[in-house]
Every structure is written in C-alpha cells, then in structure tokens.
Structure 1
Amino acid sequence: MENDLAHAGHKRKPNWYGTKKIGGIPYLEDLEITGRLIVIEGPDASGRSSQIEMVTTQLEANGFAVLNTGLNRSELISEGILEAKRNISLGKRTIALFYAADFADQLEHKIIPALQAGYVVLADRYIYTLMARNTVRGIKRHWSSNLYDFALIPDLVFHLNVDPFKLVHRVFEKRQSLDHYESGADLRLSDDMFESFIIYQQKLAKEFEYLKQKYNLISINGNKSTEQVNLTLQKQIDRFLDKSQ
C-alpha cells in the first residue's frame, strides 16, 4: 500500500441510494470524489468506538487521511436531538426527522467534502441504525427508505453482531445505567429496564438481518475479543483499499 493520500481512490462519481440520477442533493450533479466511505454499525456497547479508534490509528499509520463521523454529531442539530429525546411527548416520526436532519447536515458539510479531498471517512453508524430504530418503533420501512434516498452508498459496511445479554453487561460495566432510548423504554416493552433492553436489542438485531440482505452489510462476530474483531475488520479494510488503488 502506497503512503500517498492522493491514492485513497480513483476519481469517480458517487453512488446514491435514491432512484434519481443524483440522489436527493440536486446541486451535486457534477460531484466527483476520490475518498472512501467505510461504516461500522452495531448496537450500543458493541465496541464500535474502540474499533473506529483502532482502525483510524492503523490507517493513518499507512498514510491515509481519516475523518471520523457518527450519529448525533451535527453542530446544527445535535442539541435539538438531545432535547427531543428528553421530550417524551414528541412522536416517533418527529424524532426520526431530527436524526435525518443531523445525518443530512453531516453528509453535506463533513462527509462529502472529506471524500472530495481523498479522505477515508470512518462512520460510527450510518442510516442503517436509524432505519432499524424506525422500523422497531412501527414506522414503515418504505417511509425510512424514501427519507434516506439522498444518502451516499458506502464502500464498505460492517455490522458488529453481539448477543443482547452480553451487551447489557457491557453497558453496566461502562456506565452503570441504561439509556432510556437505547433500552427501548419509550416503547413500553417491559416495566423492567433490563428486560426492556434485551427485548429491544433483539428486535433491532432481527431488523438488521433484513438490512444485511438488502444493503449488503458484512456481518462481524462482535462477541469475540476487541483484538480479534479488529483483526477481522482491518484485514478486510486493507484488502479493499489495496484493490481500490
């Protein structure tokens, strides 16, 4: 692998999920990019952040410029999402639209510019988590698919598959509590927060099985050690980047 940032990839037209020629961003008709978009999906406490950090370190050591991004990181929208999640009276579609706005802002102002500059963009979750959450909350898949038809199609998407019972123990090890939204408490699945978390994560895992088939997600056994998971991820990422030179 050459340590030359200009060779992150050949100049090319991006692919969009929408059926329109240019996706949902009309003024980007002539957009060309040289960077690569790699996504790591997975439930809360699946180890995504650790993997993003390790992969970033290795890619930078190999000479790549790397940009990290993820959900709820838009300077424009993130505070609004936190407030919306605290306001339990807001509807499920309202919350979904907040997250879509956050994603759109980051896509336009962070992801696309970085890809134009030849960066490898590592996304800590992407539209797939958002669509899975929507479906579990009773929103039609078709609605979510249309909502995100402006999204760029990533070059690689990995999903860390972790047993829900392992997840809940990891959560308690890290912060001693369960997030209201991440545990599915808003869905009233159970009066017991622990049981609610398990049921919710099982529902998400089931939906991700559908998403893997539709969007070609690469399943990774996240039950293994951090080092073993990283070895699997890094090998596949290196192989892809070598081929795309």
Structure 2
Amino acid sequence: MQARQRAAINKMLKPKRFYGKGIPGVALDQLRGQLIVVEGSDGSGRSTQIDLLRNWLERRGYPTVNVGLKRSMLVSRELEQAMRGNILGTRTLSLFYATDFADQLENRMMPALRSGFIVLADRYIYTLMARAIVRGVEPAWIRDVYSIALVPDAVFYLAVSPKILVERNLRKHAVLDYWESGMDMRHSSNMYASFIEYQRLIQKEFKAMQQHYGFESINGNRSPRAIQKELRAHIEVILNGKSGQIEEERNDSNSTQRIARSTTTLADGGKGHQSRVSGEPPTRHRATHRFSE
C-alpha cells in the first residue's frame, strides 16, 4: 500500500473531533458516518463531481446526504436577499455564512452522521475562511468563528486556473458573478480583471490552508471523467479502510467473547459436566451456551 493511501486510511480511522469547542452536547463517538468535502471555486466542476459521487455511492449501497453553502432552512433566503443588494460588510457577511453553516451542521450533518450516512459537502468552512481572509478579516478571528466545525474525514480541493474558471463561467452563465469576481474589493472596475485577481488570491489562500489542514489537491483543469476517477480512487481507499476496521473490531469482539466463555468454564471447575452426571440442571452452563448463540 502506498504511503498516501496509508495516510488517507489513518486519517479516516481517527476518532471524530471538532476544530475547537464544537457543538455542546454532541457525543462524537456516536457519529458513525463519514463527512467528505469537495472544495473549489464556481466553475471548478465541484457540484458535478458531488452529483457523480452521490450516484456512485448510492449504487453501492451507501446512503448519502448533500449539504452546501446557503442551504440552511434558517437563513439561506435572507442571506441570498442581502447578497443581491451588495450591502453587506465583510464581518456581517462572514457571520451570516457562519449562521447558515452552524444550522446545517447541527440539524442536517449531525443527524445524518449519527445514522451512518455519508455526508457530501459541496464546499465547507475553507471557502468561507478564504473569502473572509482575502477581504481583510483577521485569520485568528475567522478560525475561531468556525471552531464549531467538525473535522471532515476527507477534503478534496479542485484546483482550476483562473483563466479556465472565467471561460467555464461565461460559457455556463454568460456573465460573471459579482461576489465570485471580488467586485466588492474594488481591485478593478473591469469585472474580468477583477475575477482573475480575486481567484488568484483565493487560490493562494487555499494553498496556505492546505499546509495547515492537510487536504488533497486535485487537478480540476481536466475532464469531469478524469477528475471523478481520481476522486473515486481516493474514496475507495477510505471506504475499504473503514470496512477493514469494522471487521477487525468484530473479530476482536468475538475473540473477547470466546476468551470470556473459556474463563467462565475454567472458573466453574467442570461443574457443568458434574451437573449433567448427577442429574442436576446445569444452569450456568446453559446460560453461557444460549448467549453464545
């Protein structure tokens, strides 16, 4: 097994944890599912890859739940309306997004993970932190805001050159998005130039975060088919590692039960055998036998 594959399995098999204090009252040992994140800018093919992964996993019998930005039942509509007016300050926007994230974390992700689902996140806190930091928010402050986040089992960042992102967005929407172009930052009155500069800054921040958070960078300049093949290969390793852990735990449990039964028999000193000879009911021996079945 390659070193990268071993590292992926080891990371997956670590106990669940939060980046900081997390959500009060959550029993992390009850989160049996996996959280898999796909990050990337608009035009990176991120949502397409999430859909392909969901179909692939469900065909294999894994139940999935999708989450993403601005999908909270609590504030998503209000956040959309505020962003359309282009009136939000940087910190206000960050806190709006944090509220959206926290609501989904508590009311969608946690229940799904408790039930053993694979949660596929179409972007996570990394995009939100990168956006805030390039707009001048203190890194320590924004990291503290998102310290409630659960550490994912795997994170994949689709790295796409800014020029290819421009082409894809124009081909799909015919126009560039105000916020994805960083027009609020006033780098340029030209939206095309502003988009290129903003995406360059975002990618620079993601490279810095990759060193800190250790997620996998995927070449997103390739075809959707090639990207999906690589993502599946990574996730296959993770799922196989998880299955191996479950089987190992099951074997350990069976071994423990066998040892316990053997110890009980030795402690009885053969009383069960003597009971059968004398005609007395072998109560303890029968109870042990029924339990083993």
**TM-score, normalized by length of structure 2?**
0.77
Summarize the alignment of residues 120-199 of structure 1 with structure 2, pairs less than 5 Å apart: 120-199=118-197
For structure 1, the 5+ residue unaligned runs are 1-9
1:113 to 111, 114, 130: 111
1:57 maps to which residue? 55
* Alignment pair present for 1:225 and 2:229: no
Q: Give CA-to-partner distance per residue, 1:150-201, whole Å, 9 cap, x none.
A: 1000000000000000000000110101111111011111111001100000
Is the Cα–Cα contact under 8 Å of residues 72 and 102 in structure 1 kept in the other structure?
yes
Mapped to 2, the partners of 1:33 and 1:224 lie a distance apart of 35
Q: Give the C-alpha shift of residue 115 in structure 1.
A: 0.3
Distance in 2 (CA, whole Å) between partners of 1:29 and 1:74 is 23
Find runs of 4+ consecutive structure 1 residues off by over 4 angstroms.
10-13
Q: 1:121, 1:26 → 2: CA distance?
A: 21
Could you tell me which runs of 5 or more consecutive residues in structure 2 were left unpaired when the two chains were aligned.
Answer: 1-11, 244-293
Q: Say which structure, 1 or 2, has more relative contact order (CA 8 Å, 6+ apart).
A: 1
CA contact (8 A) 2:22 2:149 kept: yes
Q: Give the match for residue 4 of structure 1.
A: none
Are the equivalent residues in 2 in contact too, given 1:14–1:32 (CA < 8 A)? no
Look up the SS of the partner of 1:38 in the other structure.
Answer: strand
Give, in angstroms, the shift of residue 13 of structure 1: 5.3
* Structure 1 residue 30: Cα displacement: 6.2
**Counterpart pick for 2:34 among 30, 33, 36:** 36
Paired residue for 1:68, among 57, 66, 69? Answer: 66
Amino acid of the residue matched to residue 119 of structure 2? V
Contact 1:12 1:33 in 2 (8 A): no
- What is the aligned partner in structure 2 of residue 6 from structure 1? none
Shift of 1:11: 11
- Structure with max Cα Rg: 2
Counterpart-to-counterpart distance in 2, 1:147 and 1:121: 22
Q: Could you tell me how far apart the structure 1 residues matched to 2:64 and 2:115 are?
A: 10
Q: CA RMSD in A?
A: 1.5
Q: Secondary structure at the match of 1:88?
A: coil
* 3-state SS, counterpart of residue 142 of structure 2: helix
Q: What residue in structure 2 maps to residue 15 of structure 1? A: 17
Q: Secondary structure at the match of 1:40?
A: strand
Deviations 1:72-123 (A, max 9, x none): 1001111111122123332100000000000000000000100000000000
- Contact 2:36 / 2:154 at 8 angstroms: preserved in 1? yes
Cα offset, 1:31, TM superposition: 5.5
Report how many aligned residue pairs link the two structures: 232
Q: Kindly provide the amino acid, as one letter, of the partner of residue 51 in structure 1.
A: Q
Q: Identify the residue that residue 104 of structure 1 maps to in structure 2.
A: 102
Match of 2:4 in 1: none
Which of 72, 88, 91 does residue 90 from structure 1 map onto?
88
Letter paired with 2:46: R
**Per-residue displacement from partner, 1:43-92 (whole Å, max 9, x unpaired)?**
11100011001111111111100111111100111111112212333210
Quickly say closer, same or farther: Cα 1:11–1:28, change in 2 above 3 A. farther
